Structure 1
Amino acid sequence: MRPSAAARPVLAAALLASVSLLAAPTAHAREAAPQPQPQSRPLAAATVAVYPPIQGGSLWNRFGETPPSSHHRVFSNWGYLNDWSVDIYQNPGATVVSLFGSKTSAGSPVTVRVVPVTPGCATGNLADGGWRIGLEVRDDSTGTVVGRADVMHVDQKPGSIAVGATVGPWTRLGQTGRFRYSSCYQVNGDTGAHIHLEVINRTKYSCYIARSAGAGLGDETVIGRVSTLSSVPQQAC
């Protein structure tokens, strides 16, 4: 059916508008097109810093024989061999402390508690290598346990450091010591006294901060992180 005469002006105006739209510049048409929305990506987990387990100055891998890239790992947690290990040196009598930071990288508080406390050497004799003290860190914002650390060759452990105890960043775990020479502890002089440290993530792998042998460490030197997403163990951050 043809349009009536009264409708023709309206139709003509509509046709003119259509022709103008088709003749619009291509750039204008692109501007009017809806923009694609960026795909959401999973956020990285909040990490927790690992600090030296010795209060005051200490030395990382003093003699160049215990780098975390290859140093032996002795202990396991959750059925898995720990992710990395390193020896941190200080003469006998230095204070050994809890090593996890007090907050995550996102600023939420953490809780650190003592898990298995045992003689460090397989003989079960403290004279062969002192105490092994396990610490577990939990992100309080999620309630998730994110990592553990084993602090080995601890002397003079206080009675309060027992399974289930809650500790803070400066809680004293004991002190560095000299133990008798054995297959578990092969040290001849005071300069060889050290803490053997092992760290593990609850999932994926934790990492260490790479540094040269004999590097000096302070109370606030970050030496590693847990709740990281490293693809393999013994990996630098």
Structure 2
Amino acid sequence: MRLFTAVRYALASAMVASAALLAAPVAHAQEVRPEGGRQEAQPLAAAATIAVYPPIQGPSIWNRFGQTPPSSHHRVFSNWGYLNDWSVDIYQNPGATVVSPFGSKTSTGSSVTVRVVTVRPGCATGNLADGGWRIGLEASDNATGTVVGRGDVMHVDRKPASITVGATVGPWTRLGQTGRFRYSSCYQVNGDTGAHIHLEVINRTKYSCYIARGAGAGLGDETVVGRVGTLNSGPQQAC
């Protein structure tokens, strides 16, 4: 579950978003690793899952143009030597606040700690103008100390200096904001309505899942878009 929703909406009202033309979906250029077999050491209890929420404060749009469904959208990044489980583009015009996608409680009610594990330019060029920051986050179940999963939040603009590897973040901690970057192989967007966050998610063991929904569906702060800690048998599976 997420906490302090009222506070989040109060913050969201201060953000400015501008409308513009349609855009093409992102195409990243980044190293990926083969999936291989995932070891099943330290199996997770099936009930101890953590909800994944939109990494954008306030309203956002799921797969706005119908070209980036998690069932087939490219997965670019790896964690623990494995390609991430699923990915999706979540849209909002430039200027919206970007936050952690992980809930503050597990499904069994224990608290969750989220820490920053990756901070680097998201595109292979290493140039922030080509696609902004990639911020990787790791969610742990405080009741057991188990690392449950990770999420990579890509195309983040105006990252605060406090967001560094090792930092602990809450559900409403500002990671930066949505931005508009120059058109490139890493960011094929030609209008503000194409501005988006590319979200990738992975379980520590087994596989995580996404919540299936239609292209262009509206999302809110409390909309669950996926779960980590699930025991799915493979990548790109719906919950």
TM-aligned CA deviation for residue 43 of structure 1: 5.6
Give the 4+ runs in structure 1 shifted more than 6 A.
Answer: none
Match of 2:55 in 1: 53
Aligned residues: 196
Matched, 1:96 2:102: no
Matched, 1:161 2:154: no
1: CA distance between counterparts of 2:139 and 2:195?
A: 27
From 142, 145, 152, the equivalent of 2:144 is: 142
Gaps of 5+ in 2: 1-43
2: CA distance between counterparts of 1:67 and 1:144?
A: 30
2: CA distance between counterparts of 1:105 and 1:139?
A: 10
Letter in 2 for 1:91: N
Letter in 2 for 1:114: V
User: Which of structures 1 and 2 has the bigger CA Rg?
Assistant: 1
Over 3 Å counting, the alpha-carbon distance change for 1:76 and 1:43 in structure 2 is: closer
Quick one: higher RCO (CA 8 Å, sep 6+), 1 or 2? 2
Gaps of 5+ in 1: 1-41
CA RMSD of aligned residues (A): 0.9
Over 3 Å counting, the alpha-carbon distance change for 1:43 and 1:114 in structure 2 is: closer
From 199, 206, 209, the equivalent of 1:197 is: 199
From 82, 104, 107, the equivalent of 1:105 is: 107
Identity over aligned pairs, percent: 88
TM-score by length of 1: 0.82
1: CA distance between counterparts of 2:110 and 2:45?
A: 16
TM-aligned CA deviation for residue 44 of structure 1: 2.1
Matched, 1:83 2:105: no
Match of 1:62 in 2: 64
1: CA distance between counterparts of 2:227 and 2:211?
A: 8
Contact between 2:46 and 2:229, CA under 8 Å: does it hold in 1? no
1:82-121 CA distance string (max 9 Å, x none): 0000000000001101110001000000100000100000
2: CA distance between counterparts of 1:192 and 1:44?
A: 37
2: CA distance between counterparts of 1:196 and 1:224?
A: 14
Comparing 108-117 with 42-51, which one deviates more in the overlay? Answer: 42-51
Matched, 1:220 2:197: no
2: CA distance between counterparts of 1:217 and 1:178?
A: 20
State the SS of the aligned residue for 1:172.
coil
State the SS of the aligned residue for 1:63.
coil
TM-aligned CA deviation for residue 126 of structure 1: 0.1
TM-score by length of 2: 0.81
